[in-house]
């Protein structure tokens, strides 16, 4: 069965510092991977997705992620964060049978001034 | 593209009451998904539709839960005889068919059971 592990439940960082949010997945087959962001009392917004091709994927709001098949990882990065990036971030893998998303438990990014 | 719309945004009810939520997907999307999110957790899959056909239900979905998508457009999720453990955010998402198609989420319905 597929699963997603987000190793850090909370990541505090100062404004303009770089950040990396870690995500590891387990799957015996090829996967599609996604990062979503959730602001308080809102639904999830797609940041970026990896389907195939280049392992470095660029998304919205200056975020990017790198797919590493050998390490089964899909870490999210941003070189310089803003206060407005404070939110919950979810990594997800798409089940190839039903296309349902399997989410990690999330990482709360808190950006301090 | 008007986005996925969910109604109501918040629902407070007493234990034992029935509740119904509605989801209006993006119009050209034939896939519609329901997820449940409890505090501090990621969303968990409940069920999904391909047009009007309900193709899979999670074991999380007890007999008290039922979902419909009668004309392949909007969907409803009903919970009968609500329990404290049903308190959660219920999220709806829609997409085109295919694992590579991103799912677009609504803002959710937050259910609180008194």
pLDDT at position B43 is: 95
By CA distance, what is B47's nearest residue in A? Answer: A100
* Residue B90: per-residue pLDDT: 97
Q: What is the dihedral of CA A27, A28, A32, A37, to 10 degrees?
A: 0
**What is the tens place of the pLDDT at every residue in B21-49?**
999 999 999 999 999 999 889 999 999 99
CB-CB under 8 Å, A36 with B100:
no
Q: pLDDT by residue (tens digit) across A60-98? A: 999 999 999 899 999 999 999 999 999 999 999 987 766
Q: Could you tell me which residue, A112 or B40, shows the higher pLDDT?
A: A112
Bridge partners, A63 (sequence order): none
What is the chain B residue with the closest CA to A40? B107
The C-alpha of A105 sits at a distance from chain B's nearest C-alpha, in angstroms, of 5
CB contact under 8 A, B107 and A43: yes
pLDDT of residue B99: 76
> Beta A44-50 vs A56-58: how paired, if at all?
unpaired
**Mean pLDDT, chain B, as a whole number?**
93
The C-alpha atoms of residue B85 and residue B78 are separated, in whole angstroms, by 15
Question: How is B69-91 classified by DSSP, letter by letter?
Answer: -TTSS-EEEEE-S--GGG-EEEE
């Amino acid at each position: 069965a597929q699963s997603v592990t987000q190793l850090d439940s909370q990541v505090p960082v100062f404004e303009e510092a770089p950040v990396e949010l870690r995500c590891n997945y387990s799957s015996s087959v090829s996967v599609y991977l996604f990062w979503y962001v959730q602001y308080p009392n809102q639904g999830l917004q797609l940041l970026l997705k990896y389907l195939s091709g280049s392992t470095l994927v660029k998304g919205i709001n200056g975020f990017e992620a790198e797919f590493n098949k050998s390490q089964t990882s899909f870490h999210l990065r941003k070189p310089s964060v803003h206060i407005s990036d404070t939110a919950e971030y979810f990594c997800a893998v798409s089940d190839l049978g039903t296309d349902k998303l399997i989410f990690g438990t999330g990482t709360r990014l808190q950006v301090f001034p | 593209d008007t986005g996925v719309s969910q109604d109501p945004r918040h629902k407070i009810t007493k234990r034992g009451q029935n509740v119904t939520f509605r989801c209006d997907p993006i119009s050209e999307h034939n896939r519609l998904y329901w997820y449940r999110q409890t505090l501090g957790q990621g969303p968990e899959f409940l069920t999904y539709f391909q047009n009007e056909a309900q193709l899979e239900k999670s074991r999380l979905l007890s007999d008290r839960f039922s979902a419909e998508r009668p004309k392949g457009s909007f969907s409803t999720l009903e919970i009968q005889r609500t329990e404290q453990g049903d308190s959660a955010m219920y999220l709806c998402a829609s997409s085109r068919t295919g694992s590579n198609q991103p799912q677009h989420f609504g803002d959710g319905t937050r259910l609180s059971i008194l």
